[in-house]
């Protein structure tokens, strides 16, 4: 943006010379840089990309992580936060060419955000299919009037329902109505679909049990060499619900924390303040310092449980069967069995934890006359180790 503004000022202030000038050279260089910047900024959006971009230098230091990224469960592509909905929509629509039933079910559950309305519509469709299954010989159950009030209020309003009916064997036709001048539009089940009741029952169960397609948070697992910077986190704006101005204001208000704590407050007031503090962050960046000093880093939702971090660490261990402990700052042990979220433990928006093997197990190993293997992480992770 700065380069574009500079180029605009140059073009306004300087008349174009007949021959090459230093200003022409500057303009050409700026244009090259703008094109290069556009190319770089376009990389994360490349279809099918499954790697997050490298951290960019911001000020004197690198960001601890380039941002918050997600994985599309249908394509495996790595997406930015602002790309999630559009890319998942594209993936679902592309899925119609290979499996229209599954694609229409995904569309119903994903494109419609009102979960109560979706449940009501899905239950109504299931009732239609149950009537066909229970009364295969009765023609009235194989026809659904499109202008029916229940159909309009519960089903017609949902994206994907019309595609679902067509995918499972319904056809939209105009049928005459007794004592009515014009015909009405109906969904009528084809004879071929009626001859396969087990398929209709399977499609109904798929519809009832489906969940919205959601992009999963990319952990962006990284391993760093031992570093004195282990406890320093320079986080991108993605990690905060607050705007940049609000973050600065919060930092100024930290100096008033002692004064606030000295004010007599009721328990309800304290609980409300704690809840506001917990909701401030959506994501957290966690590092685990291993016994050899190496650091294992990953991105998590602030509301995820401590057990998720234990699983994340265990997946990286060469001896994943050995029990271990994770300690927060101050030596506080985080129990894998406690159902606590990271924001409830104060591990937001970032934290450094310490890994240690279970002391009792290490004693048993030594008592058996053997020494524990000092190699901790899997070789494939160590081969990609970085400098913090």
Average pLDDT of the residues in 226-232: 94
Does residue 90 have a pLDDT over 60? yes
Q: Can you give the pLDDT at residue 59?
A: 43
For the cut 60, the answer to whether the pLDDT of residue 305 exceeds it is yes
Residue 76: pLDDT over 80: yes
Residue 55: what pLDDT?
A: 45
The residue among 372 and 34 whose pLDDT is bigger is 372
Higher pLDDT, 1 or 322: 322
Neighbours of 186 (CB within 10 A): 19
At residue 329, the pLDDT reads 85
Q: What's the confidence (pLDDT) of residue 317? A: 94
Taking Cα atoms as reference points, which of 352, 362, 244 lies closest to residue 294? 352
- Choice between 261 and 74, residue whose per-residue pLDDT is larger: 74
What's the pLDDT score for residue 279? 60
User: What's the distance, Cα to Cα, between the start and end of the chain in Å?
Assistant: 30
101 Cβ contact list (under 8 Å, min separation 6): 164, 167, 168, 203, 206
Give every CB contact of residue 234 below 8 A, 6+ residues apart in sequence: 58, 61, 62, 63, 64
Q: Where are the beta strands (DSSP E) in 129-205?
A: 143-145, 170-175, 184-189
pLDDT (average), residues 105-111: 98
Which of 27-41, 184-198, 372-386 reaches the highest mean pLDDT?
Answer: 184-198
Least confident of 68-77, 186-195, 228-237, 240-249: 240-249
Q: What confidence tens digit (pLDDT) does each residue in 266-304 have?
A: 665 555 555 555 567 889 999 999 999 999 999 999 999
**Confidence category of residue 352, pLDDT binned at 50, 70, 90:** very high
What is the pLDDT, as a whole number, of residue 330? 81
Which is more confident, 156 or 50? 156
- The predicted model gives 112-120 an average pLDDT of 96
User: What confidence score (pLDDT) does residue 285 get?
Assistant: 96
- Please, how many CA atoms are within 13 Å of residue 147, restricted to the half-sphere of its CB? 7
């Amino acid at each position: 943006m700065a380069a574009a503004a500079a180029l605009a000022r140059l073009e306004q202030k300087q008349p174009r010379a007949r021959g090459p000038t230093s200003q022409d050279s500057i303009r050409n260089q700026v244009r090259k840089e703008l094109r290069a910047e556009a190319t770089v900024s376009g990389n994360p959006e490349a279809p099918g990309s499954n790697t997050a971009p490298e951290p960019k230098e911001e000020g004197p230091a690198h960001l601890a992580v380039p941002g918050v990224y997600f994985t599309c469960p249908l394509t495996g592509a790595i997406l930015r936060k602002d790309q999630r909905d559009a890319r998942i929509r594209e993936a679902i629509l592309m899925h119609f060419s290979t499996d229209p039933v599954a694609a229409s079910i995904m569309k119903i559950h994903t494109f419609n955000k009102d979960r109560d309305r979706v449940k009501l519509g899905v239950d109504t469709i299931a009732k239609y299919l149950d009537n066909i299954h229970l009364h295969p010989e009765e023609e009235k159950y194989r026809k659904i009037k499109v202008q029916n009030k229940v159909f309009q209020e519960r089903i017609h309003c949902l994206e994907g329902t019309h595609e679902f009916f067509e995918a499972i064997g319904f056809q939209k036709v105009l049928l005459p109505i007794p004592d009515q001048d014009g015909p009405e539009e109906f969904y009528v089940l084809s004879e071929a679909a009626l001859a396969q009741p087990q398929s209709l029952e399977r499609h109904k169960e798929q519809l009832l049990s489906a969940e919205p397609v959601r992009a999963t948070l990319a952990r962006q697992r990284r391993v760093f060499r031992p570093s004195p910077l282990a406890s320093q986190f320079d986080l991108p704006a993605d990690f905060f619900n607050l705007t940049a101005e609000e973050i600065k204001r919060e930092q100024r208000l930290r100096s008033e924390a002692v004064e606030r704590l000295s004010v007599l407050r009721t328990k309800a007031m304290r609980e409300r303040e704690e809840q506001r503090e917990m909701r401030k962050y959506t994501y957290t960046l966690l590092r685990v310092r291993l016994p050899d000093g190496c650091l294992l880093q990953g991105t998590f939702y602030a509301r995820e449980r401590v057990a998720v971090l234990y699983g994340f660490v265990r997946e990286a261990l060469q001896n994943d069967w050995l029990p271990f402990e994770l300690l927060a700052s101050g030596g506080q042990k985080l129990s894998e069995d406690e159902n606590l979220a990271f924001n409830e433990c104060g591990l937001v928006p970032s934290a450094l934890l310490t890994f240690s093997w279970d002391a009792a197990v290490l004693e048993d190993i030594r008592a058996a006359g053997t020494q524990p293997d000092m190699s901790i992480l899997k070789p494939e992770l160590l081969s990609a180790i970085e400098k913090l």
